[in-house]
Amino acid sequence: MPRRIRVATTSLATLEDVKPPYNLRNPTPQENLERGLAMLEGAGAQGVDLAVLPESLLSAGLPYEHAAINAAAQTIPGPAFDAIADCARRHNMYVVTGLPMRDGELLRNVAVLIDRKGELVGIYAKRHPTEGEIGSGIVPGDAAAVFETDFGRVGLAICFDLNWADLWATMAAQGADLICWLSAYPGGFPLAMYAWQHRYRVVSSVWTYEARVIDITGRTVAETSRWGRIAVCDLDLDKRLFHTDGQMQHILPIQTRYGQRVTVETLGEEHLFTLSSNDAALNVDDIIAEFGLVEYIDYVARCTIAQTSTRVPIGSTNQ
């Protein structure tokens, strides 16, 4: 049975100022919260299962100074968390948001996952803050975070985390179906690379204009803009990826046999294809078994074993 979910990502668009830092205006924490809540209301009205807000929502656009971050930070639960959780509950949706968190004597840059009942599922503390953040008092977290939801496993990452590949690999090893990456900036091609490399979906939410939803092929399937602050799309978490080696001959028979009950997408340059079911009564695993398909990750693993077992150093047979 396909696991189809509707997701919404958002961009705060904290741009439009020509004063230092030049492209960022300086909203107050309350203005940021109100903008975030307004976008959640819009996402909820479209019946989403998951809505995502960006990094450190309350302090978006503020300078990396201890006084500013400290003033914006709140406990969790706290007033901002409670308002966001209420929105999640009323719209029966999961919400991921970034918040500056007061953790006893410490300040943290965190991402929180809230469930459909408005209850806290878990907190991830940014593992790799910048020097500027550390100078403003932000204390790094120490672990990856992947949480269970009613549709799959969701991993959380924040902004500068983009530069540490081991974190993204760890979330894959922990079985993440989807990563929510909350940021001050768009991120660009590394997000597509991680989605492709680890075969999970990436949902980014940013302070700037370009928040994206990226599927397992590394392609952007939805994106915000200067004019559209919310991007909504449907994702099939059971969509599978295959290499064409030894399998391309099955594509047309699958399309012919199952017709509109399946969707097959081919990626010519990459020599890949994807398969997803459009019928609640049709499981992709059954099609894989029927046609003897080998998923991409298993094919690569199989080739690795074959290479290792037959590899001979150059010149060794001449000795």
Annotated catalytic residues are 55, 126, 159
State both tokens at 129. 């803050």
DSSP 174-217: TT-SEEEEEESS---HHHHHHHHHHT-EEEEEESSS--EEE-TT
The Cα–Cα gap between 309 and 303 comes to 10
The Cα–Cα gap between 252 and 259 comes to 10
Token pair 């298993």 in the structure block, residue = 298
The Cα–Cα gap between 178 and 298 comes to 20
Token pair 């200067």 in the structure block, residue = 226
Residue 154, beta-bridge partner list: 147, 178
CA 162-166-172 angle, 5° bins: 90
User: Which residues, other chains included, contact 127 with Cβ-Cβ below 8 Å and sequence gap of 6+?
Assistant: 140, 141, 142, 143, 144, 161, 164, 167
